Amino acid sequence: MHQYVNAEQKKDLSRHLSVKCNRNSGSKVTDRLQPVEPLKTEGPSIAEIDSKRKRESGVTEASPMRLRMEAFIKEQQDEIVRDLERIDGGAKFRRDTWSRPAGGDGISCVLQDGNVFEKAGVNVSVVYGTLPRAAIQKMRVNHKALDDPSIESLEFFAAGLSLVLHPHNPMAPTVHLNYRYFETMDKTGEGKAWWFGGGTDLTPSYLFDEDAVHFHKTIKEACDKHGRDYYPRFKTWCDKYFYIPHRGESRGIGGIFFDDLDEETSDQESLFSFVQSCCKSFLPSYLPIIERRKNMSFGKNEKAWQQLRRGRYVEFNLVHDRGTSFGLNTPGARVESILMSLPLTARWQYMHEPEIATMEERTLNTLKTPKEWA
Residue ranges that bind a copy of itself, judged by CB under 8 A: 27, 94, 96, 110, 112, 119, 121, 245-247, 307, 311, 314-315, 318-319, 325, 328-329, 331, 333, 335-336, 339-340, 342-351
Residue with smaller CB distance to a copy of itself, 35 or 331: 331
Residue with smaller CB distance to a copy of itself, 191 or 311: 311
**Minimum distance between the CB of residue 98 and a copy of itself, rounded to whole angstroms?**
12
**Minimum distance between the CB of residue 304 and a copy of itself, rounded to whole angstroms?**
10
- Establish whether 176 is a catalytic residue: yes
Catalytic residue, chosen from 176, 214, 216, 226, is 176
| Cβ neighbours, 10 Å, residue 24 | 15
Phi-psi group of 184: left, alpha or beta (phi > 0 → left; psi -120 to 50 → alpha; rest → beta): beta
Residue with smaller CB distance to a copy of itself, 50 or 118: 118
Residue with smaller CB distance to a copy of itself, 276 or 324: 324
**Minimum distance between the CB of residue 113 and a copy of itself, rounded to whole angstroms?**
9
Strands 249-250 and 174-185: unpaired
Residue 191 main-chain phi, psi, to 5 deg = -65, 140
> Taking the alpha carbons of 42, 46, 51, 53 in that order, is the dihedral positive or negative?
positive
**Minimum distance between the CB of residue 238 and a copy of itself, rounded to whole angstroms?**
21
Rounded to an integer, what distance in angstroms lies between the CA atom of residue 128 and that of residue 101?
10
Would you say 196 and 180 are in contact if contact means Cβ atoms under 8 Å apart?
yes
Which residues share a beta bridge with 160? Answer: 125, 180
**Minimum distance between the CB of residue 21 and a copy of itself, rounded to whole angstroms?**
16
**HSE (CB half, 13 Å, CA atoms) of 56?**
7
Residue 246 main-chain phi, psi, to 5 deg = -70, -15
Beta strands in 217-291 (DSSP E): 243-244, 249-250, 255-261
Residue with smaller CB distance to a copy of itself, 245 or 299: 245
Residue with smaller CB distance to a copy of itself, 94 or 144: 94
**Minimum distance between the CB of residue 247 and a copy of itself, rounded to whole angstroms?**
7
Rounded to an integer, what distance in angstroms lies between the CA atom of residue 163 and that of residue 120?
8
Rounded to an integer, what distance in angstroms lies between the CA atom of residue 252 and that of residue 61?
37
What is the dihedral angle through the alpha carbons of 46, 48, 50, 55, rounded to the nearest 10 degrees? Answer: -170
Cite the active site residues: 176
